[in-house]
Structure formats: structure tokens, C-alpha cells
């Protein structure tokens, strides 16, 4: 096993300072989740839609502390897969974690590409067929993302800055419209304590089921650790940047959910795929809705870009740890980007766009990442015995313990999670097991 890139390959280029890293974290967490999930969370819990987002923020904060200890201790690409590899040394487990994280990124990016195609057609009033027309736009968009990714991380993160500011402006519009409408005597704040819209009996189980869903909107902070080898002085800047980014997005999510349920009844908010558009229309009927359609289009574009950046760096990092074939770790000498990993992940994304129905994969993505986060929280405790020469972030022992317990609970059937999440997740992991067998046989053949 190798701990670093071989001498025959150039290293990745360090271009990300604190500002770019903060926008990367904020842009990745905001993503497409809150633009689509607010209504689905309202279906689960009713008017107290803000509570699951708040709990999801706390759970994310616990796991983020574990990630911070590990990324400052081992400031290299590959994130959760690298930490699992170092902690347990089990090739099979490391491969499954790698595959699960990669699947979460690729399904999210592919879903965002389809959403981009739909918003593109609506924004420009195009009559595209549900099949070939929208798929062609989505594949064209994913190709553009791959070209930006290949061009260089500097160009990618600069584009991320623009897209993050655009998607952030959309959420600030919702918050400001909500504050303006409530200040004018419109809306109903009493809905915030209403659990009547929740299905089932106990409000506790309604909240935990909604939290398991809302957690999808809080993921993204973990993607940033895969950019450690392209960050300037990652040991020093990661803790304050990641925690700041999480607090910013957590506050935005709570304020957006309060504005949403105060202006639109929970049962109405849960209908359709554009809940925030209903909030804008209810709070400011004269606001040009086509502007919000453009903002949504840019928000999903940012999600696709960041997830494809993460997936390619994940493959690069694990190829250099000999968990994946070495060819996936090749770096372009001129562009200093992992070009083989970019091509490989883009081809898989093309297949997902063409063949898969990704509309219901938010819950599955959340399930996979909660399982990964459980492993990472345990890995922190295991790796306490591994000493490094430099100083690094140290999380209090209670944090990874509590993080592991809560993440495991939210990933379990006890949280009220849909059976479909386990069905789709099981199929994906089965594919991963098959790929692990192929990789294992490839490794043995190479050794001979």
C-alpha cells in the first residue's frame, strides 16, 4: 500500500484558500436538497418542518467534528474511504465505503443534471420530450461539467463561487419575502408547532422519519475533505471553514423552512416538486417567477459540479492507496487533474442519466451516507492509537460516540425510513460487491 502519489505521477495543484473552501462547503450543502425537500419533509411532520432541519444540522455537526479530526490528521484526498482503510485495513469494507460515497455523489450529480434539463426547458419555454430531448440536454450538461472539471480545479472552484452566490440568493429571496409578508400581517406562525400533518401516531417517530429525509439536505460538508490535496494549508484552515459553513447553511435552512410553512399550509407545501416556488408566489405574487426558475437551474448545476469533483478525487485518492486499480489515479501532466477518474465517473453518470429514474434517490443517498458516517465516527476512535507528528484538530471523545449512535439510528428501520431506500441501496451495494470481486481478481492478476 502506498501513502502518497508515486513519483511517476504529478501531484494535484493547491489552489483553494479559506474563501474558496468556504464557498465550496456552503455551495455543496445548499445544493438542490432544500429546493425540493421542504415539501416532502412537510408531508412527514406537518407544520414543524423546521425541527427536522435543525436536528439534521446537529447530527451533521457531530459528524463534521469527526471528519475534521481525520482530515487534519491525514490531509489527503479520498476522505471517508481513506479513514476506513487506515482504521480497519479491510479491503472489502474500504471498497464498499468508497463505492457508497461515489454512488451518493454520482446519483446526486445525475439527478441534478436531469433537474437542470427540466429547468432549462421551463426557463426558455422549450417543448422537449420527456425521453430523448431532456436526456440529451442532461448529457450535454454533464459533458460540460466534465470539461470544466478536467480544465482544472482553479476554474472549477471559481465557477462554484458564481453558482453558490446564485443559489444562495434564491434562498435569501425566500427568507426576505417571508419576513416581509409576516411583517405585513400575512401568514400563520402558529403552524410552526403543528404536528397534525404528520402521518402515523407518535410525533417522535414523525420527526425522526422527517429528519432522516432532511439529512440529505445537510450532506455535502464531507465532500470537501476529498479536496484536501488541492487546499492550501488544510490542517490550519479546515476546522474554522467547515464549521462556519455548516452554521451558515443550518441557519439558512431553518429560516427558509419557517418562511415556507408560515406562508403555505403544510399539506399544500407537500404537493408537487417546487415547494419554494409556491412560497415566493404566496408571499409576493408580483415577483417574476421565471427568475426563480433560473436560480433553481444554477443551484442544481452547482450540485452536479461539486459532486463530480468529489467523485473523481475519491477515485484518485483510493487508487493511490491501492484499493482501486492504479490507472484511476493518473493525473494529467499539463492540467494537474485526475483525468482518468474524471472520464470514469462521467461515463457512469451518463449511464445513470440515460437508464435510471433518479427522482426518489434522495432517501437512498441519505441512507448510504448515514452508514458511511457511522463508520467514520467509529474510525476516529480506532485511529486515536495512530500518532502523527503534526498538531491537528481533536474532537472530544463523546462527539464521535454520539455521532455514531445517532447516524446508525437514522439509518435503521427504527427511524421510520422508507422500505424503498433499503431496496435501492441494497441493489447498489450488490453492484458494489460484484465490482469488488472484479477489482480483487484484477489485483491478484497484477501481482502475478
Q: Give the alpha-carbon dihedral of 85, 309, 35, 120, to 10 degrees.
A: -150
Q: Residue 422: which of 363, 369, 352, 375 has the closest Cα?
A: 363
Given this model, what pLDDT does residue 1 score? Answer: 42
Domains of the chain: 18-447 (1.20.1740.10)
Given this model, what pLDDT does residue 154 score? Answer: 72
Separation of alpha carbons 406 and 297, rounded Å: 34
CA angle (307, 433, 33) in 5-degree steps = 25
Q: Give the alpha-carbon dihedral of 232, 7, 96, 352, to 10 degrees.
A: 80
Given this model, what pLDDT does residue 141 score? Answer: 92
Separation of alpha carbons 59 and 213, rounded Å: 13
Q: Residue 173: which of 275, 291, 33, 22 has the closest Cα?
A: 291
Given this model, what pLDDT does residue 9 score? Answer: 59
Q: Residue 395: which of 91, 70, 120 has the closest Cα?
A: 70
pLDDT tens per residue across all 448 residues of the chain: 444 444 455 666 777 888 888 888 888 788 666 776 787 788 888 888 899 999 999 999 999 999 999 999 998 876 788 899 899 988 888 888 888 888 888 877 887 888 788 777 766 767 665 667 888 888 999 999 999 889 877 777 778 788 888 888 989 999 999 999 988 888 888 888 877 544 455 777 778 888 877 887 787 788 788 778 878 888 889 999 999 999 999 999 999 999 999 998 888 887 755 678 788 888 888 888 778 878 878 877 888 888 888 888 878 877 877 777 778 888 888 888 889 989 999 998 888 788 765 545 667 778 888 999 999 999 999 999 988 888 899 999 999 999 999 999 989 988 877 787 888 788 878 877 887 887 778 777 776 6
Separation of alpha carbons 113 and 127, rounded Å: 18
Separation of alpha carbons 15 and 154, rounded Å: 6
Amino acid at each position: 500500500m502506498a501513502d502518497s502519489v508515486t513519483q511517476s505521477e504529478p501531484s494535484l495543484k493547491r489552489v483553494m484558500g479559506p474563501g474558496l473552501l468556504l464557498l465550496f462547503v456552503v455551495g455543496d450543502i445548499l445544493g438542490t436538497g432544500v429546493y425540493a425537500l421542504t415539501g416532502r419533509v412537510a408531508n412527514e411532520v406537518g407544520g414543524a418542518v423546521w425541527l427536522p432541519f435543525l436536528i439534521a444540522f446537529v447530527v451533521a455537526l457531530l459528524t463534521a467534528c469527526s471528519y475534521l479530526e481525520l482530515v487534519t490528521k491525514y490531509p489527503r484526498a479520498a476522505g471517508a474511504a481513506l479513514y476506513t482503510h487506515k482504521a480497519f485495513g479491510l479491503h472489502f469494507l474500504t471498497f464498499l465505503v468508497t463505492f457508497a460515497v461515489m454512488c451518493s455523489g454520482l446519483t446526486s450529480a445525475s439527478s441534478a443534471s436531469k433537474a437542470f434539463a427540466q429547468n432549462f426547458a421551463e426557463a426558455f419555454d422549450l417543448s422537449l420530450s420527456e425521453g430523448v430531448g431532456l436526456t440529451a440536454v442532461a448529457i450535454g450538461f454533464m459533458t460540460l461539467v466534465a470539461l470544466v472539471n478536467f480544465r482544472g480545479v482553479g476554474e472549477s472552484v471559481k465557477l462554484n463561487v458564481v453558482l453558490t452566490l446564485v443559489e444562495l440568493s434564491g434562498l435569501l429571496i425566500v427568507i426576505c419575502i417571508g419576513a416581509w409578508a409576516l411583517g405585513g400581517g400575512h401568514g400563520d406562525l402558529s403552524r410552526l408547532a403543528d404536528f397534525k400533518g404528520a402521518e402515523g401516531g407518535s410525533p417522535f417517530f414523525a420527526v425522526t422519519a422527517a429528519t432522516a429525509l432532511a439529512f440529505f439536505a445537510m450532506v455535502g460538508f464531507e465532500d470537501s475533505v476529498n479536496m484536501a490535496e488541492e487546499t492550501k494549508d488544510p490542517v490550519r484552515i479546515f476546522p474554522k471553514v467547515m464549521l462556519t459553513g455548516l452554521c451558515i447553511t443550518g441557519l439558512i435552512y431553518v429560516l427558509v423552512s419557517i418562511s415556507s410553512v408560515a406562508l403555505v399550509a403544510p399539506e399544500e407545501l407537500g404537493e408537487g416538486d417546487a415547494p419554494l416556488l409556491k412560497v415566493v408566489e404566496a408571499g409576493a405574487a408580483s415577483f417574476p417567477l421565471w427568475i426563480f426558475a433560473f436560480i433553481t437551474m444554477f443551484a442544481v448545476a452547482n450540485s452536479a459540479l461539486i459532486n463530480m469533483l468529489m467523485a473523481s478525487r475519491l477515485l484518485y485518492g483510493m487508487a493511490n492507496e491501492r484499493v482501486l486499480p492504479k490507472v484511476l489515479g493518473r493525473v494529467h501532466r499539463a492540467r494537474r487533474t485526475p483525468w482518468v477518474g474524471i472520464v470514469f465517473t462521467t461515463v457512469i453518470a451518463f449511464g445513470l442519466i440515460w437508464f435510471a429514474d433518479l427522482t426518489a434517490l434522495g432517501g437512498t443517498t441519505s441512507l448510504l451516507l448515514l452508514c458511511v458516517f457511522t463508520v467514520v465516527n467509529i474510525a476516529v476512535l480506532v485511529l486515536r492509537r495512530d500518532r502523527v507528528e503534526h498538531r491537528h484538530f481533536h474532537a472530544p471523545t463523546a462527539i464521535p460516540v454520539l455521532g455514531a449512535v445517532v447516524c446508525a439510528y437514522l439509518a435503521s428501520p427504527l427511524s421510520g425510513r422508507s422500505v424503498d431506500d433499503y431496496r435501492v441501496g441494497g441493489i447498489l451495494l450488490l453492484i458494489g460487491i460484484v465490482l469488488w470481486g472484479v477489482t480483487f481478481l484484477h489485483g491478484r492478476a497484477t501481482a502475478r
